[in-house]
Structures are given as structure tokens and as C-alpha cells.
């Protein structure tokens, strides 16, 4: 067998649609285009979004205004009671928070808030703290360090 001997099976070959060959062919008169109207004519195409002269949707909707602040700092929010999972005397930073699974957002910044109680002495390193959080960490004998 050679490459020039290979032929496609009969089921794979489909003859093209021959239109405009008389009414007896089943595709005479209108040639499969229906009747009347712009789309039945040759060259009768419209551009994308054209609605027959009606004001198109993209022009009916209001323009988007404003801007997106790309320099906005997005914080992962943690509470003081989230720090209870760490052992006594540990130094807790971004890496430890990440390993513990406390960071939900893929944000670079961490803010510690003062919700809950802290009973362990910890050194906490974060980007910002609330006043209440600093008080609770220091009351437990730890330190709150701003990175």
C-alpha cells in the first residue's frame, strides 16, 4: 500500500449544495435563502451589533466612568484570637500565618484586629495593628512589631 492508493471512505465525502438549478431540484427560485428581505439579497449583510437602525445596545448603555486604584493596599484581616494556635513565645510573621492557613486573600499585607482574647506571649510581625490589638498582645506579655 502506498500513500497515493489511500482513498477516503464514501461516507466521508459529501457533495456540495447545488442551488439555483430549477424548481425540481428543491433548491430553485430562492436558492435556500427564504423570501424577501435584506438577508435574501446578495451582499445583504450587516455589521456586528447592528439592530436594523434601532439604537444599538452598546450605545444605549451608559459609559463606565471612574478609575481603578491599582496602588490600593489590600489586607488580610486577622483577629487576636486567631493567634492562639501558635505556641508560647513564638515569633509570628507572614510565613507562619501562611503555613497555618490563616491568610484567605492573596494579599501581601496583614492587619491584626483586637477581636477575642490572647493568653500566650507572642512576638507578632504584621503590616498594621489596631490599638486594641496592640494592647491585648502587650497585656499577654508579647510584642506587636510593624514591618
Q: Is residue 58 situated within a structural domain?
A: no
Q: What pLDDT is recorded for position 87?
A: 87
Give the residue numbers spanning the domain of 134.
75-146
pTM of the model: 0.53
Q: Is residue 115 situated within a structural domain?
A: yes
Contact (Cβ atoms closer than 8 angstroms) between residue 101 and residue 76: no
Q: Is residue 105 situated within a structural domain?
A: yes
Q: Is residue 5 situated within a structural domain?
A: no
Entry field: residues in the chain: 147
Q: Is residue 106 situated within a structural domain?
A: yes
Q: What pLDDT is recorded for position 3?
A: 93
Rounded to an integer, what distance in angstroms lies between the CA atom of residue 51 and that of residue 33?
20
Which residue in the block uniquely carries the three cell numbers 506571649? 121
Q: What pLDDT is recorded for position 101?
A: 86
- Report the number of distinct structural domains present in the chain: 1
The answer for residues whose C-beta is within 8 angstroms of residue 44's C-beta and 6 or more apart is 37, 38
Q: Is residue 35 situated within a structural domain?
A: no
DSSP assignment, residue 43?
T
Q: Is residue 82 situated within a structural domain?
A: yes
Residue 10 above 90 pLDDT? Answer: no
Is residue 16 helix, strand or coil? coil
Query: For residue 92, what is the domain's CATH number?
Result: 3.100.10.10
Q: What is the pLDDT of residues 77-127, one digit of tens each?
A: 999 988 888 888 889 988 888 888 888 877 889 999 988 888 888 899 999
Residue 129 above 90 pLDDT? Answer: yes
In terms of DSSP H, where are the helices of the chain? 57-60, 94-100, 131-139
Q: Is residue 128 situated within a structural domain?
A: yes
Residue 29 above 80 pLDDT? Answer: yes
Rounded to an integer, what distance in angstroms lies between the CA atom of residue 141 and that of residue 121?
5
Amino acid at each position: 500500500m502506498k500513500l497515493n492508493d489511500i482513498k477516503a471512505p464514501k461516507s466521508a465525502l459529501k457533495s456540495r449544495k447545488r442551488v439555483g438549478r430549477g424548481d425540481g431540484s428543491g433548491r430553485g427560485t430562492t436558492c435556500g435563502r427564504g423570501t424577501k428581505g435584506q438577508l435574501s439579497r446578495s451582499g445583504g449583510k450587516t455589521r456586528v451589533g447592528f439592530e436594523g437602525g434601532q439604537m444599538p445596545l452598546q450605545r444605549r448603555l451608559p459609559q463606565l466612568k471612574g478609575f481603578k486604584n491599582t496602588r490600593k493596599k489590600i489586607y488580610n484581616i486577622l483577629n487576636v484570637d486567631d493567634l492562639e494556635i501558635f505556641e508560647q513565645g513564638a515569633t509570628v510573621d507572614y510565613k507562619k500565618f501562611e503555613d497555618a492557613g490563616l491568610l484567605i486573600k492573596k494579599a501581601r499585607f496583614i492587619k491584626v484586629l483586637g477581636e477575642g482574647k490572647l493568653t500566650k506571649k507572642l512576638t507578632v510581625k504584621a503590616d498594621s495593628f489596631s490599638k486594641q490589638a496592640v494592647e491585648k498582645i502587650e497585656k499577654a506579655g508579647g510584642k506587636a512589631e510593624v514591618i
